[in-house]
A = this chain, B = another copy of it.
Amino acid sequence: MVVSGQGNPRPPAPPDVRSARHREAAVRIAVLASIAHRVPPRDYGPWEQVASTLAEGLVSRGHDVTLFATADSLTSARLRSTAPTGYEEDRSLDAKVHEALHIAGLFERADGFDVISNQFDFLPLAFSRLTSTPVVTTIHGFSSERILPVFRAYDDIGHYVAISDADRHPDLTYAATIHHGIELDGFSLGAGDGGYLLFLGRIHPHKGTATAIEVARRAGLPLVIAGIVQDESYFREQVEPHVDGRSVTYVGSVGPTERDRLLGGAVALLHLIAFDEPFGLSVVESLVTGTPVVAYRRGSMPEIVRPGVSGALVDGVDEAVTAVADVGALDRAACRADAVARFSADRMVDDYARLFARLTG
């Protein structure tokens, strides 16, 4: 059963698009993405990346998918847009105005869907009692305890998805924990022969860029830093002074090809976070190139990194330095295999599809 939601009707997907192993009936699914960035994001944008991976995977399984995202988004789903582009990319756009239009654009058509996948954070919850269509809200993390009241208020119908067990809040009821998964295409098994350590992520105190610099220095290995600068003063004061192009190199934001090369050549990825990170896409990206990860033991890290298989969980700078020396002995193919089995897009999409089938069945 493939039925067009409304507008621009598409013909049903041909049967060969559907994998035989997916036994769910086709479902009319709305995926509500964040509009901070385009889907998929050009560089930073983990929420938009997950929305893209999910939408593509659901389309490939023969579902009738409508993606609500910015007008410059790229998708094989039906695209519905109110915002021309991401409000982080065009500062003439008022974020609050475009969020309101974007969410209303979905809920004014909500009855045409069997299920809504809310990848947007909490504001859509305020609309969720105004339709009988179930709204599945993926909680991409809690910016602070101050946002809990709205999650509590919709706990009865929220169908919340945690992105790690570590990020589950004790006050809330969850429909599932679904770890993110990534498209494997862009990530090949690397040789890890570049003789450097890698920091990959936004430059922000949360991400421990300065800690990575210290650990690399003490481990006697050069550090390559890749990612957008999210905290300018942190970059200026604690990162930039160490950048000398030899022991510490900053390469800015990198595209898919360069990212694959940088990851595959690294001895290890340093993920010495200063907060309980709910998930770490860059950690998974590293693992699937075979590059082990040395991570602080907090947040979701114990659910992602397998000590002795794909890296090390450490509790301080000293342990991190020791771990850097040790993880070089790990089998990179086994590291990749473990990550592929647990963090592929296929696995994530299967998990969501199963949840949607349960709610619409």
Contact = CB atoms under 8 A, between A and B. Distances in A.
Given A130-B127, A130-B130, A146 B97 contact: yes
A122 B100 CA distance: 9
Interface in A99-130: 100-101, 103-104, 107-108, 122-123, 125-127, 129-130
Interface stretch (A62-70, A88-96, A221-229, A233-241): A88-96
Nearest to A104: B126
A82 B153 CA distance: 10
Contacts of A147: 94, 97
A150 interface: yes
For the side of the interface on A, what is the size category? Answer: 20 to 34
Contacts of A82: 153
Contact of A104 (B92, B93, B129): B129
A98 interface: yes
Copy number in the complex reads 2
Interface of A is mostly: helix
A107 B108 CA distance: 13
A123 to B, nearest CB: 6
26 contacts: A82-B153, A92-B146, A94-B144, A97-B122, A97-B146, A97-B149, A97-B150, A98-B149, A100-B122, A100-B125, A100-B126, A100-B150, A101-B126, A101-B150, A101-B153, A104-B125, A104-B126, A104-B127, A104-B129, A104-B153, A108-B129, A108-B130, A126-B127, A127-B127, A130-B130, A130-B131
Q: Give the top 3 A-B pairs by smallest Cβ distance, nearest first.
A: A104-B126, A94-B146, A100-B126
Interface of A: 82, 92-94, 96-98, 100-101, 103-104, 107-108, 122-123, 125-127, 129-131, 144, 146-147, 149-150, 153
